[in-house]
Structure 1
Amino acid sequence: IILNLMIKDTDISASSQWYETTGPQFARLNREEGDGAWCPAGPLEPADVQYLQLDLRQLTFVTVVGTQGRYARSSGNEFARMYRLDYSRDGRVWISWTNRLGKKIIEGNDNAYTSVIKDLHPPVIARYLRIIPVTAICTTVCMRVELYGCPWTDGLIAYSTPEGQILSSPGHPIATLNDSTYDGVLERRRLSGGLGQLTDGVTGQDDFLQTHQYNVWPGYDYVGWSNDSLGPGYVEVEFVFDRMRNFTSMKVHSNNMFSRGVKIFSSVSCWFKPRLIADWEAEPVEFHTVLDDRNPSARYVTVPLGWRTAKGLRCRFFFADVWMMFSEISFRSGKMGSRCDVLQPSAPSHITWLLTTPNKGASTDDNSTSILIGCLVTIILLLVVIIFLILWCQYVCKVLEKAPRRILKEEQTVRLSSSSDTIVLQSPPVPPRVSQMDPHYERVFLLDPQYQGPAVPRNNLPELSQSAEASGFGGGYAEPDVTQCTPHQCFQSSVPHYAETDIVSLQGVTGSNMYAVPAVTVDSLTRKDISVGEFPRHRLHFREKLGEGQFGEVHLCEAEGLLEFLGENTPLPEWDGRPVLVAVKQLRPDATNNARNDFLKEIKIMSRLKDPNIIRLLCVCVSSDPLCMVTEYMENGDLNMFLSQREMESTLTHANNIPSVSMSDLLHMSAQISSGMRYLASLNFVHRDLATRNCLLDRRLTIKIADFGMSRNLYSSDYYRIQGRAVLPIRWMAWESILLGKFTTASDVWAFGVTLWEIFTLCKEQPYSLLTDEQVIENSGEFFRSQGRQIFLSAPPPCPPSLFELMMRCWSRDISNRPSFNCLYQALRPHVTH
């Protein structure tokens, strides 16, 4: 997305002007209107302060300034050899810009007509900007100006932290870890009221002594604190925002050079404040990270904030070692991904033209008419192009449906609509392992012959050679043995095409996932009655809204007399007299006919699912509006929340009464999920959103696979939104699902591998947490190209090697190499306890 902000004449002012024809409205780059530039009144003395002021109307991340002198069709020869910048975020407090070495003066022009482009290091986050010409002698000065940047939609206007500290150790250079570009105040060893290196877009390297800048001291890219000197065991950072925001997540780029006593934070607690003069809310959001003592790479840690509403945040980051170092902190709120990903272009050729474009409306009526006509013509041409692309896409889709096995030799260019309003000025900085990735992830190739044709079963499967004791299972657990499956069972023998569904239809009307089913199954269902009973609506007592979609909602309800209604066929366990809790999906009264039909179809599909590890449809209310379906509700919540609040079982957890799980528990959970997915696969149903957030637990810790995780705001950061049309769980999706919208049982196997990874990390980290959403999509392109540059999830610390090998097979590039759910269940079945 390229955003062009037109700065109006009324938003440009000046401290003075020589004539009307040299007023501030004529200070536009490459324009010759008026007398060709802005000129302050009279000759400029070295002590004079004259300025051109721009109101950008919103907080803006300004990265580049371009300047020219006054040429005026060969009649002028005035320019500024030097200038400086003042900026303000509120129009009251003005700050003088300095570069990373503390220098305020920027070199300008040496002639009247050549434009000079200067990068701002560090960049400026401000609404108001003043360009102040500087001269060493008395002379006449005129200027034309252009700015480059993007909207600062993070909304962060200030943060306060303890002052950064100095790390010195024998045999190593001294690292000064202060916030050297902070533009607030330092008082009593605490920074407040400004922004600095934590928001400048520069992420630190794996070795904190190395820097991206030249001629700076070691440790420059990080702000760091020592646990020994701070005392309380945590670093407290407060954030102030421009307005009330609904926060989904916080991303913290942290160093993890544990050989020098530096680690990512062990946990964080965040409190929220709706107004700056209000008290902090009592209930914080808490998050525990997965500490990594094997990989010293710096990394982003994503902290879910649960869609909490606030104008101020206070976060306490707890130490995991002696030192903690941050280089960047960003937030996602409201519209996701609306932050400038790339913040400092290195050369004019990489710059996106953004601000202070000529406002022709300030000249004559003829010019205004010309602009209006030009805009109308442009809009018409864009509409024609869009209509053509839509028709062409429909044609291509029809061709692919009619000839799915045809070998296509040409490339197809597909651009996935971005979920963000991100303005990219150059290729984004990425972690070292991703740096060689092709940035043009929009370029997608059609399926190759091996993928389009039916897969040929492999003759054998490499055996798992390691023993249970050597693999680290301990306690006499048997390894998952995939070799007991036949080759036909262990691999997908063919690729079903019934689920080659468009990604837009992924989300159901209540915000839940819509199962993909064979077309013939849907047709047959329409000729059958619903196999569950009609429950009296007045016996449902609503307690809490769990989630929502475009046309429906999911509620937690008490169902009065449900056990008696279900009779002997009830799938619910024996109850102890308490009210029966159920999840109720309800269609809104304003739902469209299509949404109503989809809802009824979902009821018919759900009524067929009867398995101990699949959420059951208990009853319905469809005799009158609003339509409702009543499903089981698991009192222990979802598996993601359950595991994230626990630690691996150990002597320490027993001694301190810490909630814990054992290796046997994790294997039992994995086996139950594989059993439920095996059942769905036997019906040719495709889930399309398998993850721990969609696995629920009852009080006996029985897992049941559900489908409404995407309707819950708690997990909104796990989904990539395509401009309001659909949300995609891209971090769990196979490459063919991301690039081609192809969902099959094999793509569910891929998601199962990611779900296993979640389980054995105890859900302490989001999959691919080091990668942005866009880089995850890039990585799917690397899986397709299969040139050895794709990035896999790393093995969780407690995971046995044989089980991680099973995960890796789930992530095979070729569908024919992925295990079937029957094979996965056979491998994990020995760990199911009855």
Structure 2
Amino acid sequence: MKVMGVVQIRHHFLLMLLSAVGRSQVNPEVCRYPLGMSGGQILDEDITASSQWSESTAPRFGRLDFDHGDGDGAWCPDVAAAADGRRQYLQVDLRSLHFLTLVGTQGRHADGMGNEFAQRYRIHYSRDDAHWVGWRDRKGQPVIEGNRNPYEAVLKDLEPPIIARYVRFMPVTDHSMIVCMRVELYGCQWLDGLMGYSAPEGHQMIYRGLDVFLNDSVYDGVAADRPTKGLGLLTDGAWGLDDFLHSPIYGVWPGYDYVGWTNRSFPRGYVEIVFDFDHVRTFTSMKVHCSNMFSRGVRLFRQASCFFRSEAEWEGDPVVFLPPADRVSQGARFVTVPLGERTASSIRCRLHFGDLWMLISEVAFQSGSAVYNTSLRGHPTNALPGEDPTHKVDDSNTRILIGCLVAIIAILSAIIVIILWKQVWQKLLEKASRRMLDDELTARLAVQTQAFSFLRSSSSSTTSTSSSSSSSEVEEGQGGGGDSGGSSTYERIFPLSADYQEPSRLIRKLPEFAQSADDLVASSRLLLQPAGGPDGGPHYAEADIISLLDGPPGASSLAAGPPAVKEFPRDRLSFREKLGEGQFGEVHLCEAEGMQDFLDEDASEGRSHGGGWSHGGGPLLVAVKTLREDANKNARNDFLKEIRILSRLRDPNIVRLLAVCVDSDPLCMITEYMENGDLNQYLHTLQLGQGPSRGAEGQGEPLGSVVSYAQLMSMVLQVAAGMRYLSSLNFVHRDLATRNCLVGASCTIKIADFGMSRNLYRGDYYRIQGRAVLPIRWMAWESILLGKFTAASDVWAFGVTLWEVLTLCQQQPYGALTDEQVIENTGEFFRDQGKQVYLPKPASCPDDVYTDLMLRCWRRNANQRPGFQEIHRHLLDNAA
């Protein structure tokens, strides 16, 4: 039995047990389980349709990946019925409310006998079989792209998710085409029991000239004077960021994740929201996710008063809760309102303003079923809280079931422990044998390197020898497994942990790679070794950095000795906001008081010209990376090693390491953070001036919200200058994009690596099982398919970054393609049959820049792409 199989079985048993005894808010990233179309848990009687072609294509055959044996393999509507203009649909009754995050569809294959499928379809849903709603994505599009062939299953995320009992799949096609469908629904049971809420329409905020829309954009109820009987942003399982102007969802407007109101429109000083539930329940608490950015006039509600109703009238005694005021942290958070085990089927809560604005993004209830007795207040005397006498079960059978589940879990746990113990011993034996082989191989490589050095210049010889010795040191320090943290900020953009999927495994999505996938996976593992690939390319450039920055061979280890920067007093750091989760720990935006006294002369001069200083040498905005407290010794050494490497990078267009805090835990490194934020958000707020003017005029800071073509190319030139410096050290960034470039005063651009750690750019990374891993829209085809990262793959990413700048970051690269289609497009680059899709020429981009620079960066042959030295020279000549 495989370990993963055992863990999955144990996980499902735990879910069954927990669902019986607990109630909690839904997590969309976990709530992705098949609901029973393919597994048979959904009964045939619960699958209906508007029509059917024949008895052999009845609705009960519309199950994804399920072979009935007695049918034609799918549900097919009646073509004659479809021709009269009626909407055809396949309907699934889930028997109770469910939170749906994913849908899957297939066509009719029937072992090669069928070739019918739905290329596009719509979804309608209902919670009561009376009020039906047509699903739309977050951009308002109602049509979902379906299948391209009759046999492959296509899964589509529902963004926003659906809360429903009844779901209809409605194929979209011309009436001359026969379609057949097999479907599956993915999600979990909706335990809140919330059927709908009614709240005032959200307001519009004007913040520093920026329109912030705080309406409930995905609300599915009846929107009249007051929206009623619907669900929306407050129940989508996702809550907003600390800064309500930003969103983890790409391309939405500021304030999208929140519903907000200003107290100027409520004379009584509170907002009233009514929540209606499926039946009478006993409520324990209500959790409300609120923004508390008081610097912008937004605070938590200062009081919550909740009234309850089980019959026609509202009870007169509310539950009143006063949350503690927080005037220190501006982070958004959940506020738990205790409801005192009150019984009701509807709740009316009045949230009183604590400031000018009140913003909430999620509401969840903890409750159990209950029956309201008209002669009593509170709980029925013959029932415990959370018990529903109308659905009485045999208590003895329940105890037997729970006992059996506990016994099964104990047995599975013992099996897992045995299997894991066996694997640990196997790994120890493999490491021992691998260490012996590595020692022998290192000795051979040393001899080969000495012989090869006679054929090269003295400077190249020094670099090669130092690279070999340092590579061996890095490989030994990582234990050969790559699970520990990376040795350099730029090298380890992708953490090699248990969640990491090797890029070469993505080739399994391409049919022609199916047979040779295992061979390519093995080859990509070689390419991902720390010391560089078999072709000699600098896939991991730490060895070259050591030789170029630390001097001749025999220099001390980077992990040893004190860092090459000064110790900074922790009490001079003032927290501003959390930027995100980095490789080693958290990343914070802070103000550093008196930082200028700790910098060397060139750093102080660079900062004074590059921006970030307050007048008179006041506080400096800095990014502080911290090492998590539970980090092991290897992670600690890697953190110190990264400090030593970054402290030696000296270039006006590379973010500098300013100081460290390593005298006590937690270890911290302090790097620059420009006052204008990252280039992506900076450009997103600008508009292009008239005409693609060239020349040196207007290359300073943009005037107001208008930027010229010359200013854009000046920004690109600075990015190219920074990458020229990194490539001269054989340093591979692997995540070059506008989100990883910071903007200072006078449009100074510096390359950084904060993009992946920020939730704001979570959508820019390809997700594997809900985790962001690869920025595939910026990656070269060989990086995606073969795991090969070189300076040439950075050049590819530079071309995409140039495209971002010239489009003012108004759209995501390949925005019309899904992640799967982007990966398929890389296969077209590999095949090189003229079917590959390139990013289109931006409207502001001259033809020669697009053809002579941008398209050259995306050439299939990496050797034909220009180097950063050539790119920098081309941009200088173009600006002249």
TM-score (norm 1): 0.51
Partner of 2:819: 773
Deviation at 1:563, TM superposition (A): 2.1
From 100, 109, 126, the equivalent of 1:152 is 100
CA deviation vs aligned residue, 1:489-541 (integer Å, no higher than 9, x gap): xxxxx96434258xxxxxxxxxxxxx785564576662776433233333223
Q: Within 1, Cα distance between the matches of 2:804 and 2:744?
A: 19
Deviation at 1:770, TM superposition (A): 2.8
Q: Within 2, Cα distance between the matches of 1:550 and 1:647?
A: 35
The residue type equivalent to 1:802 in the other structure is D
CA deviation vs aligned residue, 1:567-612 (integer Å, no higher than 9, x gap): 6431211641342222222223322211111111111111111111
The residue type equivalent to 1:594 in the other structure is N
Matched, 1:560 2:560: no
1:52-63 equivalences under 5 Å are: none
Q: Within 2, Cα distance between the matches of 1:601 and 1:733?
A: 27
Partner of 1:818: 865
From 225, 233, 245, the equivalent of 2:238 is 245
Partner of 1:480: none
From 599, 611, 620, the equivalent of 2:651 is 611
Does the residue aligned with 2:608 lie in a helix, a strand or coil?
Answer: coil
Matched, 1:270 2:344: no
The residue type equivalent to 1:203 in the other structure is I
Q: Within 2, Cα distance between the matches of 1:122 and 1:417?
A: 42
Matched, 1:642 2:682: yes
Q: Within 2, Cα distance between the matches of 1:727 and 1:59?
A: 19
Flag the 1:726–1:128 CA change in 2: closer, same or farther, 3 A: closer
Matched, 1:623 2:697: no
Flag the 1:7–1:667 CA change in 2: closer, same or farther, 3 A: closer
Question: Which piece of structure 1 moves more, 636-645 or 784-793?
Answer: 784-793
Matched, 1:701 2:701: no
Q: Within 1, Cα distance between the matches of 2:716 and 2:594?
A: 34
Does the residue aligned with 1:270 lie in a helix, a strand or coil?
Answer: coil
Say if 1:271 and 1:280, in contact at 8 Å, map to a contact too: no
Flag the 1:798–1:379 CA change in 2: closer, same or farther, 3 A: farther
1:663-742 equivalences under 5 Å are: 663-721=709-767, 727-742=773-788
CA deviation vs aligned residue, 1:26-80 (integer Å, no higher than 9, x gap): xxxxxxxxxxxxxxxxxxxxxxxxxxxxxxx978666847989xxxxxxxxxxx9
Deviation at 1:710, TM superposition (A): 1.4
Partner of 2:608: 573
Does the residue aligned with 1:547 lie in a helix, a strand or coil?
Answer: strand
The residue type equivalent to 2:582 in the other structure is G
Q: Within 1, Cα distance between the matches of 2:685 and 2:92?
A: 40
Q: Within 2, Cα distance between the matches of 1:706 and 1:385?
A: 39
Q: Within 2, Cα distance between the matches of 1:619 and 1:420?
A: 31
Deviation at 1:544, TM superposition (A): 2.3
Q: Within 1, Cα distance between the matches of 2:822 and 2:428?
A: 26
Flag the 1:103–1:797 CA change in 2: closer, same or farther, 3 A: farther
1:210-609 equivalences under 5 Å are: 212-213=172-173, 215=175, 236-238=217-219, 239=232, 244-246=237-239, 270-273=256-259, 443=517, 446=520, 496-500=536-540, 518=545, 520=547, 526=558, 530-549=563-582, 551-566=584-599, 568-569=601-602, 570=604, 571-573=606-608, 575=613, 576-577=615-616, 578-609=618-649
From 748, 751, 765, the equivalent of 2:797 is 751
RMSD over equivalenced CA pairs, Å: 6.4
Flag the 1:792–1:384 CA change in 2: closer, same or farther, 3 A: farther
Deviation at 1:772, TM superposition (A): 3.0
Deviation at 1:659, TM superposition (A): 1.3
CA deviation vs aligned residue, 1:202-260 (integer Å, no higher than 9, x gap): 62599xxx974464999xx9xxxxxxxxxx999954235756424797889xxxxxxxx
CA deviation vs aligned residue, 1:742-765 (integer Å, no higher than 9, x gap): 322122111111111111121111
Flag the 1:812–1:383 CA change in 2: closer, same or farther, 3 A: farther
Flag the 1:722–1:592 CA change in 2: closer, same or farther, 3 A: farther
The residue type equivalent to 1:603 in the other structure is I
Q: Within 2, Cα distance between the matches of 1:795 and 1:599?
A: 41
Does the residue aligned with 1:582 lie in a helix, a strand or coil?
Answer: strand
Q: Within 2, Cα distance between the matches of 1:390 and 1:772?
A: 42
Q: Within 2, Cα distance between the matches of 1:728 and 1:542?
A: 30
Deviation at 1:615, TM superposition (A): 0.9
Deviation at 1:640, TM superposition (A): 0.3
Say if 1:617 and 1:631, in contact at 8 Å, map to a contact too: yes
Structure 1 unaligned spans of 5+: 12-56, 69-79, 86-96, 130-149, 156-176, 222-231, 253-264, 284-306, 312-332, 334-361, 406-415, 422-427, 429-434, 454-493, 502-514
Flag the 1:250–1:499 CA change in 2: closer, same or farther, 3 A: closer
CA deviation vs aligned residue, 1:405-457 (integer Å, no higher than 9, x gap): 9xxxxxxxxxx999799xxxxxx9xxxxxx998696993764999xx99xxxx
Deviation at 1:119, TM superposition (A): 4.0
Partner of 1:203: 144
Does the residue aligned with 1:774 lie in a helix, a strand or coil?
Answer: helix
Say if 1:731 and 1:768, in contact at 8 Å, map to a contact too: yes
Say if 1:101 and 1:216, in contact at 8 Å, map to a contact too: no
Partner of 2:126: 183
Give the structure with the larger helix fraction.
2
Matched, 1:802 2:842: no
Does the residue aligned with 2:843 lie in a helix, a strand or coil?
Answer: coil
Matched, 1:660 2:608: no
- Give the number of the structure with larger relative contact order, counting CA–CA contacts within 8 Å between residues 6 or more apart: 1
The residue type equivalent to 2:823 in the other structure is I
CA deviation vs aligned residue, 1:71-128 (integer Å, no higher than 9, x gap): xxxxxxxxx9x9454xxxxxxxxxxx5447999995669xxx9655654954648464
Say if 1:498 and 1:518, in contact at 8 Å, map to a contact too: no
Q: What is the identity percentage for the equivalent residue pairs of Structure 1 and Structure 2?
A: 41
Flag the 1:439–1:385 CA change in 2: closer, same or farther, 3 A: farther
Does the residue aligned with 1:777 lie in a helix, a strand or coil?
Answer: helix
Flag the 1:250–1:212 CA change in 2: closer, same or farther, 3 A: farther
Deviation at 1:799, TM superposition (A): 1.6
Say if 2:248 and 2:759, in contact at 8 Å, map to a contact too: no
Deviation at 1:781, TM superposition (A): 3.5
Does the residue aligned with 1:827 lie in a helix, a strand or coil?
Answer: helix
Q: Within 1, Cα distance between the matches of 2:13 and 2:813?
A: 40
Question: Which piece of structure 1 moves more, 670-679 or 778-787?
Answer: 778-787
Q: Within 2, Cα distance between the matches of 1:550 and 1:827?
A: 35
Q: Within 1, Cα distance between the matches of 2:827 and 2:588?
A: 39
The residue type equivalent to 2:720 in the other structure is S
Q: Within 2, Cα distance between the matches of 1:437 and 1:646?
A: 43
Q: Within 2, Cα distance between the matches of 1:563 and 1:754?
A: 36
Question: How many corresponding residue pairs?
Answer: 551
Does the residue aligned with 1:590 lie in a helix, a strand or coil?
Answer: coil
Say if 1:517 and 1:684, in contact at 8 Å, map to a contact too: yes
The residue type equivalent to 1:270 in the other structure is Y
The residue type equivalent to 1:183 in the other structure is S
Does the residue aligned with 1:534 lie in a helix, a strand or coil?
Answer: coil
Q: Within 2, Cα distance between the matches of 1:276 and 1:754?
A: 46
